[in-house]
Amino acid sequence: MRGGYNWANNPLRERTFDPAVQVPFEHHIAVGVGVKPWKHWEMDAGFYYALPKKVTYTNPELPYGTKATDNPQGFQLDVTMGYRF
């Protein structure tokens, strides 16, 4: 069993933020499990969740307008299987 928390301190500037390129995630939670069902085989699964982060940006070079907001959140599921010689 595995578990973790990550705080990514990556300051974003409203004047240069582009939601098509950047994601403003700061807080992440992860859990996972690994098993070895046979002598050489291993299986792992992990789940990663990025908590919502609201950003208001004013990049004048974007077509989204001024004072636009973005409030993304996301998750990822990874499953792997491996063979050890």
What's the CA gap between 71 and 53, in Å, rounded?
A: 5
For 16, the domain range is: 2-83
Supply the DSSP string of 30-65, one letter for each residue: EEEEEE--SSSEEEEEEEEEEPP--EEE--TTSTT-
Position 10 scores a pLDDT of 65
Beta bridge pairs of residue 57: 68
Position 57 scores a pLDDT of 73
Residue with more model confidence, 3 or 53: 3
pLDDT surpasses 80 at 49: yes
Domain total for the chain? 1
- Kindly report the number of other CB atoms within 10 A of residue 24's CB atom: 19
What's the CA gap between 49 and 25, in Å, rounded?
A: 10
